[in-house]
Amino acid sequence: MRHCGIHSPLGHRFIHVMDGGMRQNEIDDLRVRLVSPPKMIIGGASVNAVSEAVLDVVSPIDGSLLAKLPDASEADVADAVAAARRAFETGSWAKMAPAARKKILLDWAQLIDDHALELAVLGVRDNGTEISMAIKAEPMSAANTIRYYAEAIDKIYGEVAPTDASTLAMILKEPIGVVGAIVPWNFPLMISAWKIAPALAMGNSVVLKPSEIASLSALRLVELAHEAGLPDGVLNVVTGQGAVAGQALARSMDVDSLVFTGSGRVGRLLLEHAAQTNLKRVYLELGGKSPHVVFEDTDDLEAAAQAVVAGIFRNSGQVCIAGSRLLVQNSIHDAFVEKIVAVTQTMRVGDPLSLATQIGAMSSEAHLNRVLQSLESVKSIVAGGDRILTETGGYYMRPAIVTNMGPEDRLVQDEVFGPVLTVTRFTSEKNAIDLANATELGLSAGVWTSQLSRAHRMVSALRAGVVHVNTYGGADNTVPLGGYKQSGNGQDKSLHALDKYVNTKTAWIKL
Residues that are catalytic: 285
Q: Which is nearer to ligand NAD, 361 or 443 (CB)?
A: 443
CA distance 84 to 82: 5
CA distance 378 to 333: 20
Residues of this chain, 403-432, that bind ligand NAD according to CB under 6 A: 415, 417
Q: H helices then E strands: how many in the chain?
A: 16, 25
What are φ and ψ of residue 66, in 5° steps?
-95, -40
| 208 lies in the site for ligand NAD, by CB under 6 A | no
Q: Which is nearer to ligand NAD, 22 or 238 (CB)?
A: 238
| 263 lies in the site for ligand NAD, by CB under 6 A | yes
Q: Which is nearer to ligand NAD, 214 or 326 (CB)?
A: 214
Piece in contact with ligand NAD (CB under 6 A), picked from 30-38, 227-235, 263-271, 445-453: 263-271
Judged by CB under 6 A, the number of residues near ligand NAD is: 31
Indicate the SS3 state at residue 459: helix
| 246 lies in the site for ligand NAD, by CB under 6 A | yes
Which member of 132, 285, 314, 317 binds ligand NAD (CB under 6 A)?
285
**Cβ within 8 Å of residue 231, ≥6 positions away:** 44, 87, 92, 93, 96
| 211 lies in the site for ligand NAD, by CB under 6 A | yes
Piece in contact with ligand NAD (CB under 6 A), picked from 9-17, 73-81, 185-193, 419-427: 185-193
| Largest interatomic CA distance in the chain | 79
Piece in contact with ligand NAD (CB under 6 A), picked from 169-177, 208-216, 223-231, 351-359: 208-216
**Cβ within 8 Å of residue 360, ≥6 positions away:** 61, 124, 128, 129, 130, 131, 315, 316, 349, 350, 351, 352
Which member of 171, 243, 335, 388 binds ligand NAD (CB under 6 A)?
243
Which member of 49, 143, 266, 361 binds ligand NAD (CB under 6 A)?
266
| 443 lies in the site for ligand NAD, by CB under 6 A | yes
CA distance 141 to 39: 24
Cα 65 to chain centroid distance, Å, stands at 25
**Cβ–Cβ < 8 Å for 43, 235:** no
CA distance 23 to 26: 5
Residues of this chain, 73-132, that bind ligand NAD according to CB under 6 A: none
| 193 lies in the site for ligand NAD, by CB under 6 A | no
CA distance 123 to 352: 11
Q: Which is nearer to ligand NAD, 143 or 244 (CB)?
A: 244
What are φ and ψ of residue 423, in 5° steps?
-125, 130
Residues of this chain, 41-80, that bind ligand NAD according to CB under 6 A: none
| 186 lies in the site for ligand NAD, by CB under 6 A | yes
Binding site for ligand NAD (CB under 6 A): 182-186, 191, 209-212, 242-243, 246-247, 250, 261-263, 266, 269, 285-288, 320, 415, 417, 443, 481, 483, 488
